[in-house]
Chain A
């Protein structure tokens, strides 16, 4: 590093990327040798940008000049001169060194061109930039989340298509089945194709509810056969593929979500988790230099103003709350507990409403025509109504509770999440009760086939149909709200200058509610994917349509929200909520795989006692060595050391994280001490110079 010239202004710069470490060569006057040594060893790397340069740490001395030159804050002409000096100074390098350097250079160029190609493929990036500039980071994070879900669903569809759909289509004609056993005749009675003449409008009804011509198709579980193709060089077991694809789909989604959460969480861990404080962060980092246009700039300024005001107000509220008298505190807490109970009561009432609606719908499942369609969609209608009404009421409750504004938002969101996901759970629970006769498989209807074969000859298809209906209904409701509520509202507000119209005002794009809608939709898809393999594809199309509809409504109908989410923490929070949904869907999947008997009249698992039982059966068809190997992996002699090793690795990472946090605290203390050293020195200089002047005066006086 000695050969690199440094301009005087740079001396105070903390050069994190050059790995210099804290200037430990400058000893403090108070002889803090120990602490400076420690800080040299534990030098943290604050790599917040994605273009962090780990390769710089490998290059020592003056190798890799382009990257170093670019990272110096000098004007172009000076940089050019510095580079020329460096090039003249290049010492004789070994052939290996120059080869290594050329390699890193070509690798870097390749990476940059690769990144250029990838950005070409990145979906909707210009639109997202426009949205971010005009409406802020919070709204943009919603659209980023939507884009992530579109890609996730599309890739899952490709997975399912490749392993289940295409082999099913190809081997459709093959009649070889895995297990040839018979069961009671009544259980195998399944007639999905409608008999006789079908009225025209029934096709439309069937499209909406997944019955009729849509029921016996690749859309639903019931159409897949339990074929196993056995060739001399190729064998394909469709039921096994179906099962493994479903399980792998869930694991794949989990990995994607966690990977995406990782980037946000990494920053928190590396900086030791402590918060510097919001005010400096807002003032120094909140301006978005990508804002285009006067309107967007004014909007951003208003946002920042609002944020600062809200934070200052929250601080004064906290001070006031701390100064409350005992009696006032008691009253406030009592009020809060009461309101909590009220909100729980509301949620439970909503559940009961959904439960009753589902029961009623099952009761009236024989109705035909439009009324029949209405009864079929009754659970979805009840769920949507609940999801509209209860959050509104919860918002009013939150006003009474008088939490700090940020706490209010989080509490309201959690309540809505709870409501949404468990309302779906209630629907599933009701279905389960009907299918398995309340879990009592010895009761009248379920004794024969272990499930209610009269009402549900093919229960998996039925569950798939419910999920299909939920997805479709969600999309239709969104379109209907857009056309019937948002556009007219905007037209009324713009053209009718009435006091009432102005008070209602233009629509605000509420990010939290929209995100919850996405999470709900995705949870429905996950729950239904086992029974309706094409559901990810339908969901991809639905989310793409939703992206465009939401974009249209955002630009034409909405005024920007004044209260914004911070984009990085909000992305993390959306993914956490998505994980809740994933958890619910996983529970459903595991239960269906392990506990409920598959239908005997349809599907690839028709002659198995449970869906999972095909795995042990196929296991014994494997070669002997593979069986031994798999037994060994599952045995204790392998899993216990593996578990111990992963514990050690996790402890290492936790220790690393805490060390980083400690070194941050240490460096802050050093900074403080340096400041005091500076003041001490200045005082010393002053006193010395004063003494010197006095001496001179007295010497002069003598003379």
Chain B
């Protein structure tokens, strides 16, 4: 079961509407943009998997510093190469949509920030996260002293059980206090 060619069947459409937070127009637009990424022969195959580089040519993702992590998190491929099918793409858009709940957004945000995929955010993850946020070039990074102080401040504020890492519950606890998170964790095509 999958999508073929440039047609999206009515029953598939309603199924996607039930399984994601997207509206009908959003799903159709997503389908249109996804098929633009496919080559001619790929368009006839069902359930094509698009490689990461092609996904990253989308303007909404192209300059996002977390683009590789986003593709990695939503990818269902066995090779963990960040390639996405159309359904993975819909999952991505659903988590980043207007009507997605805070829980699902915070869950996926946690997984995106977890660079080593071990289920917690430790110092290495936090350091990589801050570097993504401030920019990777040398003049935009924080100094080592500032980074050390920042990470210790973060752990002091959000690590409640004092195990040196931020787990999902602690992360969601921080997120729930931020009124801006839901509106900024949004990608609209």
Contacts and interface: CB of A to CB of B under 8 A. Distances in A.
Contact of B64 (A52, A276, A291): A291
Dominant secondary structure of chain A at its interface with chain B: helix
Contacts of B129: 283
Interface in B89-130: 90-91, 94-96, 98-104, 107-109, 111, 113, 126, 129-130
A669 to B, nearest CB: 9
Contacts of A676: 161
B19 A80 contact: yes
Interface stretch (B29-37, B38-46, B172-180): B172-180
Interface in B55-107: 59-60, 62-66, 74, 76, 87-88, 90-91, 94-96, 98-104, 107
Contacts of A294: 62-63
B134 A308 contact: yes
A635 to B, nearest CB: 44
Contact of B19 (A83, A264, A271, A284): A83
A104 interface: no
Most buried by B among A72, A271, A275, A301: A301
B186 A76 contact: no
A556 interface: no
Interface residues of A, number: 72
A116 interface: yes
B150 A279 contact: yes
A79 to B, nearest CB: 5
B146 A312 contact: yes
Contact of A298 (B135, B142, B160, B176): B135
Given A275-B177, A284-B171, A287-B66, 17 more contacts: A14-B172, A17-B103, A46-B102, A70-B18, A75-B87, A271-B176, A276-B157, A286-B184, A289-B64, A290-B184, A290-B187, A290-B188, A291-B64, A302-B140, A304-B133, A308-B134, A671-B161
A76 B162 contact: no
Given A49-B182, A116-B23, A287 B133 contact: yes
Most buried by A among B94, B111, B133, B186: B133
A454 interface: no
Given A287-B133, A312-B150, A76 B184 contact: no
Given A73-B107, A76-B87, A292 B18 contact: no
B177 A271 contact: yes
A48 B135 contact: no
Contacts of B101: 17, 49, 51-53, 71
Contacts of B140: 301-302, 305
Contacts of A129: 188
Given A264-B179, A276-B174, A292-B59, A12 B103 contact: no
A676 B63 CA distance: 42
A66 interface: yes
A48 B103 CA distance: 10
A301 B134 contact: yes
Nearest to A295: B63
A279 B153 contact: yes
B149 A75 contact: no
16 contacts: A16-B103, A69-B18, A70-B21, A71-B103, A75-B87, A76-B88, A137-B180, A280-B158, A284-B113, A284-B175, A287-B66, A289-B66, A292-B59, A305-B142, A675-B163, A676-B161
Contacts of A79: 19
B181 A285 contact: yes
Nearest to B73: A73
B167 interface: yes
B184 A297 contact: no
A70 B20 contact: yes
A458 to B, nearest CB: 50
A1 to B, nearest CB: 15
A672 interface: yes
A13 B107 contact: yes
A302 B171 CA distance: 24
Nearest to B101: A71
A308 B142 contact: yes
Interface in A294-322: 294, 296-298, 301-302, 304-305, 308-309, 312, 315
A116 B98 CA distance: 12
Most buried by A among B95, B103, B168: B103
B174 A12 contact: no
B184 A48 contact: no
Interface string A209-220: 000000000000
A83 B23 contact: no
A12 B181 contact: no
B166 to A, nearest CB: 8
Nearest to A571: B179
A289 B180 contact: no
Across chains A and B, which 7 residue pairs bring their CB atoms closest together, nearest first? Answer: A675-B161, A277-B157, A76-B87, A301-B135, A305-B134, A46-B176, A285-B178
Contacts of B111: 73
A72 B187 CA distance: 19
A508 interface: no
Given A70-B19, A305-B134, A567 B60 contact: no
A18 B52 CA distance: 35
A686 interface: no
A668 B157 CA distance: 12
A566 B180 contact: yes
A365 interface: no
A502 interface: no
A76 B19 contact: yes
B184 A77 contact: no
Contact of B146 (A51, A75, A308): A308
Interface in A312-353: 312, 315
Nearest to A271: B177
A116 B170 CA distance: 35
Nearest to A9: B119
Contacts of B11: none
B169 interface: yes
A80 B180 contact: no
Contacts of A264: 179
